[in-house]
Structure 1
């Protein structure tokens, strides 16, 4: 698991948290990595990789309806057994959840936000937390978007429209961090 630890620690070494709360979340992730397998889904806290997908030319962002949370969220999720790179996870999940095959890190491959989010219990798993490492991915073909299933619709929105439909504060924060990139 040296490579799993290395990928996360390397990303965190280059990342500058934007708040005291985020700094505390980064330290929790470092401790998680030091204590064992940060990807194990059975752990009450585990690392996930997510992204806000953008279409730079139109200045729009893509949101995905998440039925379990009943809210508009980013694309992303858990590592597969052979994965240990949060960016690779975000890219795979982005492709699977949107059908977009041309996704690339934008404007670079750096972390844009790290937040630990609570996940409520359901019939399959207990309540737990995701240490969500977030990136920005871009597409040049927004019209190619296809939801992975009928219960997970996708919406292209301007940042202003996205702020109106997002109910999760941590997603609002991610969007706020990406807006200047789209504007600039």
Structure 2
């Protein structure tokens, strides 16, 4: 199965938690249907990306990166690469690359979607498919200077500034999904 087909299957099966998320889900599917290159940064009307909120093993903290270009604290994530075979795999790869954490456990399906303008190709949109992952208890953050300007653990309710509401919403949603998984 191609990455494009995997993304369509993932989004086709995902149960959106509310009307706004459902609207985004449907628009992502329409975008995939209209653009054979929707998974790649070269698709300038917009392209799908994969990101992850990394939650600590005890559920109290989130790992965030200081994005070099945007100068904001954000979740890990980014563009899909040719070696990615699944959307979840792209999210996990980005999370491991940007955090330096080995042994992340990705929740099986997305927790949220977010569409936002970005400077790619002179102006485009990321159609971000957002996941949650749990770090192992002994996780140590290792920053790669090519990936971010800084990296740190922050309380779930204490996302630092500068950040944005979509990041805060993802952190809250990811922490709730991880907590729900623990309680099953």
Partner of 1:92: 93
Contact 1:166/1:172, CA 8 A, preserved across alignment: no
* Number of positions where the alignment pairs a residue of Structure 1 with one of Structure 2: 177
Contact 1:50/1:90, CA 8 A, preserved across alignment: yes
Contact 1:95/1:103, CA 8 A, preserved across alignment: yes
What secondary structure, in the 3-state scheme, does the structure 2 residue paired with 1:144 have? coil
Runs of 4+ more than 4 Å apart: none
Contact 1:120/1:128, CA 8 A, preserved across alignment: yes
Is 1:134 aligned to residue 133 of structure 2? no
Q: 1:47 to 1:84 in 2, by over 3 A?
A: farther
Unaligned runs of 5+ in 1: none
Q: 1:37 to 1:60 in 2, by over 3 A?
A: same
Find the aligned partners of 1:95 and 1:109 in 2 and give their Cα distance.
Answer: 16
Contact 1:65/1:152, CA 8 A, preserved across alignment: yes
Contact 1:56/1:182, CA 8 A, preserved across alignment: no
Unaligned runs of 5+ in 2: none
Q: 1:152 to 1:142 in 2, by over 3 A?
A: farther
What secondary structure, in the 3-state scheme, does the structure 1 residue paired with 2:2 have? helix
Q: CA shift at 1:3, angstroms? A: 2.1
Q: 1:80 to 1:27 in 2, by over 3 A?
A: same
User: What RMSD in Å do the two structures reach over aligned CA positions?
Assistant: 2.1
Contact 2:51/2:130, CA 8 A, preserved across alignment: yes
Which TM-score applies when normalising by structure 1? 0.86
Q: Among 158, 166, 169, which residue is 2:165 paired with?
A: 169
Partner of 1:28: 27
Partner of 2:144: 148
- Deviation track 1:7-59 (CA, whole Å, cap 9, x = no partner) reads 11221122222343322221221112112122121212101110000112252
